[in-house]
Amino acid sequence: MAAELMSGRIAQMERTTSESQVRVRMNLDGTGTSNINTTVPFYDHMLTALAKHSLIDLDIEAEGDTHIDVHHTVEDTAIVLGEVLRTALGDKRGIRRFGEATVPLDEALAHAVVDVSGRPYLVHSGEPEGQQYHLIGGHFTGSMTRHVFEAVTYHAGICLHMRVLGGRDPHHIVEAQFKAFARALREAVESDPRTDDIPSTKGAL
């Protein structure tokens, strides 16, 4: 099922497979309010931070075969999040397109650059060796961080460069990345008061 544009820059989508059921509703011109329940507590924490710091309103309900692993539920939620973001952006007329943020969380530091380019691409680097094996909050494996960004960028059609510049605590390393992405995304999808054009020399994104 494709994401549906409701009005303005509000979109929603429901996706059901044999592994998960996911519903996402997004308002790009919100205030950062969220109602999130993926049945994966640490992931809920990260998505709540994403909404709060991007000023994008998010309603997310997801459940899946977490008795096997949280992988399907986490990744499928990111897929739907990306599809809804792409739909809510419409033709991208009048947006800033580019956004950048460097965000600390105690000892951790993450740098994110977003281009709402229409071309999905992810560069993800800098996590310390072993981060991918950490089980955070008893459910969320560190390797899932990259999976989330891969799914969002591919399905939203955006380019994301994410670099971890430092960090020791696995929780902080992931959270700094989500917050940096949120702040960069906030800037990239904001309306540019100086133009109502599509921000590309091609005339389309």
pLDDT tens, position by position, 121-142: 999 999 999 999 999 999 999 9
- Per DSSP, the three-state class of 34 is strand
Residue 1 in this model has a pLDDT that exceeds 90: no
Which helix (H) or strand (E) covers residue 144, if one does? helix 144-156
Q: What is the pLDDT of residue 174?
A: 98
Give a yes or no: residue 90 inside a domain: yes
Torsion, Cα 81 91 159 87, to 10 degrees, reads 10
- Per DSSP, the three-state class of 204 is coil
**Confidence category of residue 14, pLDDT binned at 50, 70, 90:** very high
Copy the structure tokens of residue 80.
């739907």
pLDDT tens, position by position, 53-75: 999 999 999 999 999 999 999 99
102: DSSP letter: E
Give a yes or no: residue 194 inside a domain: no
Give a yes or no: residue 201 inside a domain: no
Q: What is the pLDDT of residue 7?
A: 87
How many domains does the chain divide into? 1
Q: What is the mean pLDDT of the chain?
A: 97
Q: What is the pLDDT of residue 86?
A: 98
pLDDT tens, position by position, 150-187: 999 999 999 999 999 999 999 999 999 999 999 999 99
Range of the domain at 160: 4-189
User: What is the CATH number for 86?
Assistant: 3.30.230.40
Give a yes or no: residue 195 inside a domain: no
Give a yes or no: residue 144 inside a domain: yes
**Rounded-to-integer distance, Cα 36 and Cα 48, Å:** 7
**Rounded-to-integer distance, Cα 76 and Cα 178, Å:** 17
Decide: residue 64, CB within 10 A, 0-12 exposed, 13-18 middle, 19+ buried.
Answer: buried
pLDDT tens, position by position, 75-119: 999 999 999 999 999 999 999 999 999 999 999 999 999 999 999
